Amino acid sequence: MTLLYASTFTDALNRLAAAEQKQVKLSAFDLQMNPRGNGLQMHRIDKAPGFWSVRVSSDIRIILFKDGETTLLAYVDHHDAAYAWAERKRVLPHERTGAMQFVEIPILRAREEEVGLDRSKAPASASAVVRPDPRPFAALTDDQLLDVGVPRDWLEPVREAPESQLFDLLTQLPAEAAEALLDFASGGRLEDHIAAPVSLANPFLHPDAQRRFRMVENLEELRAALDQPFEKWAVFLHPAQRALVERVWSGPARISGSAGTGKTIVALHRAAHLARARRGIAPGRVLLTTFSEPLAAALAAKRDILAEAEPELRERVHVAALDRAALDIYTGQFGAPRIATTREVKAAIAVARADKLGEGFTPEFLFEEWEELVDAWNVADGEAYAKIPRLGRRTRLGASQRDSAWQVFQSVRRQLSAEGLVTWPQIYARLSDWILEDGQHFPYRYVVVDEAQDLSVAQARFLAAVGADGGEAIFFTGDQGQRIFHLPFSWRSLRIDIRGRSHSLKVNYRTSHQIRSAADRLLPSSLTDVDGVEESRKGTVSVFDGPEPILVLSKTEQEEARRVAAFIEECVREGVSPADIAILVRSEAQRVRAEFARHGAELSEAETQSIPIVLMHDAKGLEFRCVAVIACDDDVIPDSSRIAAVGDMGEMESVYESERHLLYVACTRARDRLFISAVAPGSEFLEDFRG
């Protein structure tokens, strides 16, 4: 006897009250112990073939689908709503793809009713007739629709559907069909979504079916799924994601995609996949890492959820920020280092300038040159300094200028060494040399890196050493459009060559179509890295609809605060928890404006304090149902103080690019509703946002 559960079941469970959820879970655990339901009050639903109800309480019913030896936890709700759901559904394998699907029974109505026409009240003047919406799928054939997973009962309703009801239609179709049709309606190619037929004895195991159904192996796995659900795609992987997670790569691979396409979930599942025993391959210890401590903490929480069902994953998948992991390894091999601070480096530059070195250069230029080039690439001598790539550093130095600057950097190295200080790039360089010389003592067999676009040169060189022997040792996920911390550089020059092993995810699960479309206007339709590897945003589709983003320019900060407060109040009235409404600002300098706006909303003090205020740089990896990105003034983003501090004026283009990426990151933290505000005239970037 096999027990499965569906994403529709976990979604419905989360909508119940806490006490009701507890009762449902107990009944679900009973079914896991005995899928036949012996001892439970179970009744066949006459109007829904294959569906049964299980009595949880006087009013709560679990809806099961039973087929031979298979029992599926399909839905749960109050009695009438649960029965109504079942009576509208069928569970069938698709006739062409072979994937098991939930098929909604289409309600066929006259097309005039669909578009709101009443011919009995039609105006006499032909020019005044309200014409029906265009039908985006009218010309598609049966074969074209069946090839992408549209159920046969839906062929005609799909062709008849007007454009104005596109998202209503898509919510009633299986996900694979909805994604294909949405892409087609947005200008994409239906041929890109043809599902290869898979002949399986169990259609629940089809790759498309596994995005909505999961087999329960044991009670612990069921408890983990029901007790601690997180983003449902962490369990129900999209087939495109699953293929990337389970693929055997011949070298380093990078998975990209715009914000919300599930890159982090791919990284998480890839780490778990590598940590499991596979055919002919023993399990290995995995480092799952990223560039910041908060993001690492979020990854660890998700790892722990998976580990509820597979406790061995907690031991085999170690999660840590990359700097923390490197420091621990370095300390274990060479002892605890004294790491030079920014203040100590700037002080060393000041000493060198006091000694009349580096004349003609500003302290700001020298520090940026040290941080982005000399120290980042661990440059050892003047000859190497002359050859280092100056990507993002547009100013070209002549030989005499280069010699003058190098004297400063030599002085800085001597001073730091005399004080027993090392820099992060020196730590990574020593670790890289150690791995290449004695790799058998490196504590991890695999390294999976999330948010890889924000790696530093030194970190990338270290990872190149980890993967020097090829194979599956390193795996990256990231988005160039979210790079906000470092200048671009060539991965290939560091011997990380991902050509032929890069892939862009195209299905956005987190952000509504309206928010994604608006945010995407901040960036080019494709981004090409230094090595010529292109990441295209074309063809990306969101799987749900929502309100259009709101962009408001106010005359004063006080007026802006009132409008932000009104937005917060409206979200709360619509049932959004204050903790799921965030205010994002560019820097600490704008925090007081966020505080003023937050306290202007008519909420209790506890509700007010539960609304997070987040700096844009700290927003990576976060998501909220509603987001207000405020204080986007013309001197705030791009940040005027950052522009004024640029020592190399040719670097201005890189500064503007990273500031644009920062606004993109902020806007894409919103799932359902986005509010953007500024004091007029507002940031120049907002013109692009308007479209």
Does the structure show a pLDDT above 50 at 116?
no
Q: Is 91 helix (H, G, I), strand (E, B) or coil?
A: strand
- State how far the Cα of 252 lies from the Cα of 474, in Å rounded to an integer: 5
- Which region among 146-160, 294-308, 408-422 has the lowest average model confidence (pLDDT)? 294-308
pLDDT given at position 545: 79
Q: Please state, in angstroms and rounded to a whole number, the distance separating the CA atoms of residues 637 and 76.
A: 47
Range of lowest pLDDT (59-63, 112-116, 214-218): 112-116
pLDDT digits (tens, 9 = 90+) for 176-206: 898 889 888 878 888 888 877 766 678 888 8
Is the Cβ–Cβ distance between 543 and 508 less than 8 Å? yes
Q: How confident is the model over 472-487, as a mean pLDDT?
A: 86
Q: Which residue has the tokens 């265009």?
A: 134
Provide mean pLDDT across the span 650-671.
86
pLDDT mean over 290-302:
91
- Which of helix, strand or coil describes residue 535? strand
> What is the distance between the terminal CA atoms of the chain, rounded to a whole angstrom?
55
Mean pLDDT, residues 28-32 taken together = 80
Ramachandran bin of 135, using left for φ above 0, alpha for ψ from -120 to 50, beta for the remaining angles: beta
Predicted local confidence at residue 233, as pLDDT? 46
> For 451-575, where are the alpha helices, taking DSSP H only?
457-466, 513-520, 557-573
User: CB-hemisphere CA count at 13 Å for 360?
Assistant: 10
Q: Who's near 204: CB < 8 A, 6+ residues apart?
A: 4, 70, 72, 100, 210, 213, 215
% of the chain beyond a pLDDT of 90: 51
| pLDDT mean over 538-559 | 88
Q: Which two tokens stand for residue 513?
A: 């179509």
CB 64 within 8 A of CB 71: yes
* Per-residue tokens: 53: 């109800």
| Helix H or strand E segment including 679 | strand 670-679
Mean pLDDT of 638-663: 77
Query: Sorting pLDDT into bands at 50, 70 and 90, what band is 114?
Result: very low
* Cα R_g (the chain), whole angstroms: 28
Q: What is the DSSP string of 79-90?
A: HHHHHHHHHTEE
Q: What value does the mean pLDDT take over residues 567-588?
A: 95
Q: Are strands 613-615 and 581-585 parallel, antiparallel or unpaired?
A: parallel
pTM reported for the whole predicted model = 0.76
Question: Is it the case that residue 68 has pLDDT exceeding 90?
Answer: no
**Which pLDDT score is estimated for 124?**
44
Express each pLDDT in 508-521 by its tens digit. Answer: 878 888 999 899 89
Among 85-99, 332-346, 475-489, the least confident range: 475-489
Residue reference for tokens 């074969």: 143
CA distance linking residue 96 with residue 36, whole number of Å: 31
Average pLDDT over residues 80-86: 95
Q: What is the pLDDT of residue 647?
A: 53
Q: Which helix (H) or strand (E) holds 267?
A: helix 263-275
Whether the predicted pLDDT of 120 surpasses 80: no
Q: Could you report the per-residue pLDDT of 393-451, keeping only the tens digit for each?
A: 555 677 888 899 999 999 999 999 999 999 999 999 999 999 998 777 899 999 999 99
**Weakest mean pLDDT among 59-68, 449-458, 494-503, 507-516:** 507-516
Short-list 134, 178, 131, CA closest to 154: 178
pLDDT per residue as tens digits for the range 230-287: 445 455 677 778 889 999 999 999 999 888 888 998 999 999 999 987 766 777 899 9
Does the CA dihedral 414-417-422-427 come out positive or negative? Answer: positive
Indicate if the pLDDT at residue 129 is higher than 80. no
Phi, psi (degrees; rounded to nearest 5) at 397: -95, 135
CA distance 489 to 389: 8
**Does residue 141 register a pLDDT over 80?**
yes
- Buried b / exposed e over 36-74, threshold 16 CB at 10 Å, is ebeebebeebeebebbbbbebeeebbbbbbbeeebbbbb
Task: Collapse the DSSP code of 366 into the 3-class scheme (helix H, G, I; strand E, B; otherwise coil) and give the result.
Answer: helix
The neighbour count for residue 338, using CB atoms within 10 Å, is 11
pLDDT at 691 over 70: no
Nearest to 258 by CA among 584, 620, 506: 506
Collapsing DSSP to helix, strand or coil, 92 comes out as strand
| Mean pLDDT computed over 351-361 | 91
Helix, strand and coil content of the chain, in percent to the nearest 5, comes to 45, 15, 35
Residue 535 has pLDDT above 80, yes or no: no
Q: What pLDDT, on a 0 to 100 scale, did the predictor assign at position 112?
A: 36
Cα dist from 511 to 388, 520, 540, whole Å: 40, 11, 11
* pLDDT given at position 558: 96
- Share the mean pLDDT of the chain: 86
Please tell me the predicted confidence (pLDDT) of residue 111. Answer: 36
Q: Residue 122 — very low, low, confident or very high, per pLDDT cuts 50/70/90?
A: very low
Q: Round to whole Å and give the CA distance between 420 and 73.
A: 62
Using an 8 Å Cβ cutoff, are 472 and 446 in contact?
Answer: yes
Q: Concatenated DSSP letters for 236-256?
A: S--HHHHHHHH---SS-EEEE
pLDDT at 39 over 70: no
* ∠ CA 498-503-506, rounded to 5°: 160
Q: How far apart are CA 291 and CA 691, in angstroms?
A: 33
Q: How far apart are CA 36 and CA 57, in angstroms?
A: 19
Q: How far apart are CA 546 and CA 510, in angstroms?
A: 12
pLDDT at 293 over 80: yes
Distances (CA, A) of 130 to 121, 125, 166, 479: 11, 11, 19, 44
Q: Which of 123-132, 159-168, 379-388, 626-635 has the lowest mean pLDDT?
A: 123-132
User: How confident is the model at residue 220, as a pLDDT?
Assistant: 66
- pLDDT at residue 89 above 90? yes
Q: If you search the block for the tokens 């690492």, which residue do you land on?
A: 296
Please tell me the number of Cα atoms within 13 Å of 312 on its side-chain side: 9
- Span of 352-356, 503-507, 523-527 with lowest mean pLDDT: 523-527
Mean pLDDT on 338-360: 94
What local confidence, expressed as pLDDT, does residue 402 receive? Answer: 85
pLDDT tops 90 at residue 596: yes
* Sequence-ordered alpha helix ranges (H) in 129-189: 142-147, 155-160, 166-170, 175-185
Give the confidence band of 648 by pLDDT, cuts at 50, 70, 90: low
pLDDT at 23: 86
Greater model confidence, 141 or 307: 141
Is there a contact between 408 and 366 (Cβ–Cβ < 8 Å)? yes
